[in-house]
């Protein structure tokens, strides 16, 4: 899939078919996250792939805005060492993976992590070391149906030249 087309057509998906995602595809998606831009090339990220249905259900119970994680065949959880730009680096990795998932014809939906009340519980559940911060997680799988484009602000409303 062309990069510009991928960027312009990716949508959040919250309803998934139960079909499994091949391990090679999951590895390729995580590899794209690993290759994201990172401040000073620190690469603070760690990626936990969760396919166990019981664990995904427990995650979904913890995260009120991510109940759909229980129904997706995969959830990828992104942690970063607590370095100066962990949030930016981890977010860049997540965005790369969301786009890679779309390029593989998979749906995904990013769920916030950083500073949420469930951070410690998710970290404990997944055995994350104390120096890791939850940046976010996302559901991954084949969409039940195509998603439509949500309304977006027009380019002329958000583009400024030289000054705000």
In whole angstroms, how far apart are CA 62 and each of 54, 112, 118? Answer: 13, 12, 6
Q: Rounded to two decimals, what is the model's pTM?
A: 0.95
Spatial strand order in the sheet of 107-112:
45-50, 74-81, 132-141, 107-112
Which pLDDT belongs to residue 147? 85
- Answer yes or no: is pLDDT of 73 > 70: yes
Could you tell me the pLDDT band of residue 152, with boundaries at 50, 70 and 90? Answer: very high
Which comes out higher in pLDDT, residue 150 or 162? 162
List pLDDT tens digits, range 28-72: 999 999 999 999 999 999 999 999 999 999 999 999 899 999 999
List pLDDT tens digits, range 74-103: 999 999 999 999 999 999 999 999 999 999
Which pLDDT belongs to residue 148? 85
Domains and CATH numbers, the chain: 3-158 (3.40.109.10)
The Cα angle at residue 85 between residues 80 and 86, in degrees rounded to 5: 15
Which pLDDT belongs to residue 163? 95
Average pLDDT, stretch 134-139? Answer: 98
Residue whose token pair is 């997540």? 94
Which pLDDT belongs to residue 146? 86
Which pLDDT belongs to residue 96? 98
Whether the CB-CB separation of 108 and 98 falls below 8 Å is answered with yes
Could you tell me the pLDDT band of residue 1, with boundaries at 50, 70 and 90? Answer: low
List pLDDT tens digits, range 20-29: 999 999 999 9
Which pLDDT belongs to residue 149? 83
Mean per-residue pLDDT of the chain? 96
How many C-beta atoms lie closer than 10 Å to residue 101's C-beta? 28
């Amino acid at each position: 899939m062309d990069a510009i087309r991928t960027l312009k057509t990716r949508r959040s998906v919250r309803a998934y078919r139960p079909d499994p995602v091949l391990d090679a595809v999951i590895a390729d998606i995580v590899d794209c996250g690993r290759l994201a831009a990172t401040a000073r090339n620190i690469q603070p990220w760690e990626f936990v792939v969760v396919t166990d249905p019981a664990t995904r259900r427990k995650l979904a119970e913890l995260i009120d805005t991510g109940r759909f994680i229980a129904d997706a065949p995969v959830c990828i959880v992104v942690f970063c060492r607590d370095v100066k730009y962990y949030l930016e680096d981890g977010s860049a990795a997540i965005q790369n993976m969301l786009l890679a998932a779309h390029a593989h014809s998979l749906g995904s939906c990013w769920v916030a992590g950083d500073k949420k009340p469930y951070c410690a519980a998710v970290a404990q559940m997944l055995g994350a070391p104390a120096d890791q911060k939850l940046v976010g997680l996302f559901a991954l799988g084949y969409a039940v149906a195509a998603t439509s484009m949500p309304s977006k602000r027009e380019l002329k409303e958000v583009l400024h030249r030289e000054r705000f």
